[in-house]
Amino acid sequence: MRAAGSREAFRKVDYDYPAETARFGAAAGAEQYLLVSSVGARRTSPNFYLRVKGETEDAVRSSGIPSVGIFRPSFLLGDRPALRASEATAIRVVSKLSFVMVGPTRRFRPIEGAVVARAMVEVGRRKTTGITMYESETIQRIGAVPTGIPV
């Protein structure tokens, strides 16, 4: 959110654009919509980031597109041009502690961005209908298998 510069700018990118894209897609006859959200996203969250992500999920779900896949990864790992020091430290700590993340905390294990992309490609190839939520563990399982498409 810091990269966006303000809450308004963040909301424009993380809510307005995906919600409008889903609405326009539905009007144009889109059959599938895949959204990257976040672990813990919830419309009623007291956390602004998670609340906006939850509102976005709701908007996409209600768009009328027959097949909606919502991906909820945990911390995303991978090369990024502007990784802040606090973010880099948090990712290092969580990565080193991921082996103790079992049971309910397992969903907070960090995940490679490329794994999320591979999972989305695989899900995009499937002929599904309805709304499907893909939590971080499921994303890891689906995306661990190479698709043959570079990401």
Interval 26-85: pLDDT, tens: 999 999 999 999 999 999 999 999 999 999 999 999 999 999 999 999 888 777 666 556
Give the mean model confidence (pLDDT) for residues 129-139: 94
Domain assignment present for residue 18? The answer is yes
Domain assignment present for residue 117? The answer is yes
Give pTM, 2 decimals: 0.82
- Which position among 15, 17, 33, 53 bears the catalytic label? 53
Instruction: Examine the pLDDT at 94 and tell me if it is beyond 80.
Output: no
**Domain with 133 in it:** 2-143
Helix (H, G, I), strand (E, B) or coil at 36: strand
Environment class of 34 (CB within 10 Å of its CB; exposed 0-12, middle 13-18, buried 19+): middle
* Structure-derived torsion over alpha carbons of residues 28, 32, 37, 40, reported in degrees to the nearest 10: 120
| pLDDT greater at residue 96 or residue 72 | 72
106-121 confidence digits (pLDDT tens): 556 678 899 999 999 9
Question: How does the average pLDDT of the chain come out, rounded?
Answer: 85
Domain assignment present for residue 101? The answer is yes
Alpha helices by DSSP H, listed for the chain, are 7-11, 17-27, 48-61, 85-97, 113-125, 136-143
- Which position among 49, 96, 127, 134 bears the catalytic label? 49
114: CATH: 3.40.50.720
Q: How confident is the model at residue 123 (pLDDT cuts 50, 70, 90)?
A: very high
| pLDDT greater at residue 138 or residue 86 | 138
Active site residue 49: yes
Counting the structural domains of the chain, the total is: 1
Domain assignment present for residue 107? The answer is yes
Domain assignment present for residue 113? The answer is yes
Domain assignment present for residue 41? The answer is yes
Active site residue 127: no
pLDDT of res. 35: 98
Phi first, then psi, for residue 92 (nearest 5°) are -60, -45
Domain assignment present for residue 149? The answer is no
Domain assignment present for residue 90? The answer is yes
Rounded CA-CA distance 14/3 in Å is 12
pLDDT of res. 14: 95
pLDDT of res. 108: 62
